[in-house]
Amino acid sequence: MPFSDYKTALVTGASSGIGAAVVERLCKEGLKVHALARSADKLAELAARTGCIPHAIDVSDLAGITRLTQEVAFDVLVNNAGVDRPGSILKADAEGIDLLVDVNLRAVLHLCRLVVPGMAARDRGHVVNISSIAAAYNFGGNSTYHATKAAVSMLSRQLRIDVFGKRVRVTEICPGRVATDIFAHVHGDSEETHKRFVEGYELPQAEDIANAIAFAIAAPIAVNVGHMEITPTLQVPGGLSTARPDAPQA
């Protein structure tokens, strides 16, 4: 369905990175975009630049997102908010697990519960879920992150079944490494972090992900772009490790 058939959008995790880029792109397409994030200051700057409607709400605040979705009928929902606490399950703590489940999964489920029935009733809508290549591939540590993103991936497939027969489309975006400030949030905002994850690499930018989302939304109503895996050309996911029983484990 072309952008002209949609009027409103909700983007979570909108204060920076991919979320901010998506807000900016959707605003340029003429949608009334509601930008949701915790940082009121960054949202105010984004609103001044794009004309979006800011909502300083934690995505895990069920009462807050419930009020918002009751006030506005959203045609486009972009579930972008996400957090990470690197580490294997052997070193995980209860706080980290609860945080990732609350933000990466529970909030997505609740927003879909609150928004998708209205889309189905209007026979119009598009849900975009930002998961990760971690939803499909295994790499060191990040066990809880992998688990939550895999759940979002399966939810994205299931939503298509739930809305079967309605013109409600669902797109899962699976980014690999993207040049955003997520690494600073996870590993600390330092020159070392920038050098480790960004500097010297040829990486997709946040705007590239926003453009991919816009492509999926702008497709004709008969077309559902269900899954897009977006990685750097010079990044390959996957791998195989074999350990000797007597070898020290990392």
- Give catalytic residues, as residue numbers: 145
Q: What are phi and psi of 78, to 5 degrees?
A: -115, 105
- Please name the amino acid found at residue 57: I
Q: The tokens of 184 are what? A: 């600073």
Question: Measured in whole angstroms, how far is the alpha carbon of residue 216 from the centre of its chain?
Answer: 15
Q: What are phi and psi of 130, to 5 degrees?
A: -90, 110
Buried b (16+ CB within 10 A) or exposed e, 89-118: eeebeeebbebbbbbbbbbbebbbebbbeb
CA 18 to chain centre: 8
Strand, coil or helix: what is 130? strand
